[in-house]
Amino acid sequence: MGRYSIPFMGVLLLFCLVSSSEAEYLKYKDPKAPLNVRISDLLKRMSLEEKIGQMTQIERSVATPDVMNKYFIGSVLSGGGSVPATKASAASWQQMVNQMQKAALSTRLGIPMIYGIDAVHGHNNVYNATVFPHNVGLGVTRDPVLIKKIGEATALEVRATGIPYVFAPCIAVCRDPRWGRCYESYSEDPKIVKTMTEIIPGLQGDIPGNSIKGVPFVAGKNKVAACAKHYLGDGGTNKGINENNTLISYNGLLSIHMPAYYDSIIKGVSTVMISYSSWNGMKMHANKKLITGYLKNKLHFKGFVISDWQGIDRITSPPHANYSYSVQAGVSAGIDMIMVPFNYTEFIDELTRQVKNNIIPISRIDDAVARILRVKFVMGLFENPYADPSLANQLGSKEHREIAREAVRKSLVLLKNGKSYKKPLLPLPKKSTKILVAGSHANNLGYQCGGWTITWQGLGGNDLTSGTTILDAVKQTVDPATEVVFNENPDKNFVKSYKFDYAIVVVGEHTYAETFGDSLNLTMADPGPSTITNVCGAIRCVVVLVTGRPVVIKPYLPKIDALVAAWLPGTEGQGVADVLYGDYEFTGKLARTWFKTVDQLPMNVGDKHYDPLFPFGYGLTTNITKY
């Protein structure tokens, strides 16, 4: 045995040296290595196939483990309403995400995938999540501290389902309420929208003081990567038509639609999503000047740029008419990750062909992949790729619902209080003999939450998720001796025959999202107008509007005693009753101009011919101590 000991030790020593060298060789796996060292080390190891896989984002319904592994897929998303199962639990979501992640990590280089989801007013796709007011209401609060708290709560609920990336916030500046996405905008005023970017440090964490401008930042596994969207000018399209053309000068584009992006980048936003819309006839998904020239080079944005859903397909009209051109135009413009989301082999094959034929230079691919890897490294995905089961109890927590309830209270705007200022109706008395609650939206959690809730377009009814309707909130707030009668659409005889002390009428719009919400007439849904006429024509009433934007109200205003804009308050309807009954004062001020007629549109504060029904910044208060 003795004569084998020296050679054996030599082999053992050689093995140790090789192992040591190999461990040192994989610099990208060392969390202590500098960020740029990790990126360059991994990038130089990657094949073209692996690089293009990183640039590909596919929908969860096609993201099988085999697909993830075979095509080196870098990202997966849930489209609106795309869930592992109806009313899926946090654990079910975690299991699904982990399964995809396991497949991604089983590839040669073990690069984790990043899962993204629309969490635009809380974790809105997920059953039992806290649904916060839509942005149109949050802008009314003008409260960046509250908005940051909403970001923090949303991040925890999203992480509760194992997801590390959200397509939020929408920092559009909606200049025309006819646009179907206007409720996703905080305000018509770029200054308010800019202030609301405080949701980004809520989602991602506070950026360290010594950070380089433009470098993305995510503070650990309780935070999520955010996405500022939709770049640029999505809220300024002609007549508010979704995905349409924004006709504005370069200076106008920068002064109205760009300010919130400056702030988002300074706050370390991880990703930016490109808008479907065009600027002066040029599709934003093909606009190299604004994506590469302005966003990346001038603003020094170092995160990754992502397309919208089938966004590059829509560079041509009709969509997908010339896919080769779409791939070339979109990637050359500076889009780093393509939300495919289904036909991934077509995208991968086409981009591969173009790179191999020198149509798209490999330097553009390397830039895209470096940016995607930078975000993944910064997030800690390489160190913590899997879901944290201990966070599951954060979904719909009591603490988060209290934050949402506060947001509802602060987002309400009192537009009218009494037919004479000497006879205010609000705050309502809790103790009465009999009161009427009426309207299609009084006992409808789905209408209260609006679009982008459980499904893409939203759902009516009370079975979509858990929460408190305005009717339930009223019942829980009034004195136990007060009889509350609910009739969705009573006729005048019913109203007169019951001798009600007063009525609360809750009406508004049905749910919608994106193009389905585009409206040239901006009327409330039937039978809203007739309910107002029947009830408010007979007894004293407060009308609560549940809408994604200002709607036509002027013809009914003389009949109404008190009028409240509640926007789309989400699951915590108790916040509405809190203010109606005087437990808290009205503090909300309009962040949008309320028009007299749709013929005036577009009309924004500062316009020469500004003649609103209720101006920007308007909002009455109730002095609780007085009553």
Give φ, ψ of 170 to 5 degrees.
-85, 120
Band (3; pLDDT cuts 50, 70, 90)? very low
Q: What is the pLDDT of residue 24?
A: 52
Q: What is the pLDDT of residue 1?
A: 39
Q: What integer is the mean pLDDT of 29-49?
A: 97
Q: Does the pLDDT of residue 16 top 90, yes or no?
A: no
Q: What is the pLDDT of residue 624?
A: 58
Provide the greatest CA pair distance for the chain.
111
Q: Does the pLDDT of residue 48 top 60, yes or no?
A: yes
Q: Map residue 453 onto helix, strand or coil.
A: strand
| Residues 256, 113: Cα–Cα separation, whole Å | 35
- As a whole-number percent, the residues of the chain with pLDDT over 90 amount to 94
Task: Return the CATH fold of 412-614.
Answer: Rossmann fold (3.40.50)
Q: What integer is the mean pLDDT of 572-580?
A: 98
Q: What integer is the mean pLDDT of 535-551?
A: 98
Q: Which residues are catalytic?
A: 308, 514
Listing DSSP states for 222-239 in one string gives TS-B-EEEEETTGGG-GG
Strands 165-166 and 227-231, bridge-based pairing: unpaired
Q: Which of 370, 296, 369, 366 is nearest to 333 (CA)?
A: 296
Q: What is the pTM of this model?
A: 0.96
Q: What is the pLDDT of residue 4?
A: 42
Looking at per-residue pLDDT, the higher value among 393 and 211 belongs to: 393
Band (77; pLDDT cuts 50, 70, 90)? very high
Band (6; pLDDT cuts 50, 70, 90)? very low
Q: What integer is the mean pLDDT of 381-388?
A: 98
Q: What is the pLDDT of residue 19?
A: 47
- With respect to CATH, is domain 49-55+64-391 assigned 3.30.70.20? no
| Residues 561, 541: Cα–Cα separation, whole Å | 6
Q: How many CB atoms lie within 10 A of CB 221?
A: 18
Q: Does the pLDDT of residue 13 top 50, yes or no?
A: no
Q: Which of 58, 64, 49, 109 is nearest to 79 (CA)?
A: 58
- Each residue of 573-610: b (16+ CB within 10 Å) or e? bbbbbbbbbbebebbbbbbbbbbeebeebbbbbeeeee
Looking at per-residue pLDDT, the higher value among 482 and 19 belongs to: 482
List C-alpha distances in Å: 58 to 63, 110, 247, 309: 7, 18, 33, 10
- As a whole-number percent, the residues of the chain with pLDDT over 70 amount to 95
Per-domain residue ranges of the chain: 49-55+64-391, 412-614
Token pair listed for 165? 């990336």
Q: How many CB atoms lie within 10 A of CB 259?
A: 18
Mean of pLDDT over the chain:
95
Q: Does the pLDDT of residue 17 top 80, yes or no?
A: no
Q: What integer is the mean pLDDT of 266-286?
A: 98
Q: Does the pLDDT of residue 275 top 50, yes or no?
A: yes
Q: What is the pLDDT of residue 385?
A: 98
| Residues 595, 486: Cα–Cα separation, whole Å | 31
Lowest mean pLDDT among 123-132, 160-169, 414-423: 414-423
Q: Does the pLDDT of residue 626 top 60, yes or no?
A: no
List pLDDT tens digits, range 101-147: 999 999 999 999 999 999 999 999 999 999 999 999 999 999 999 99
Can you say how many angstroms the Cα of residue 238 is from the centroid of all Cα atoms in its chain? 23
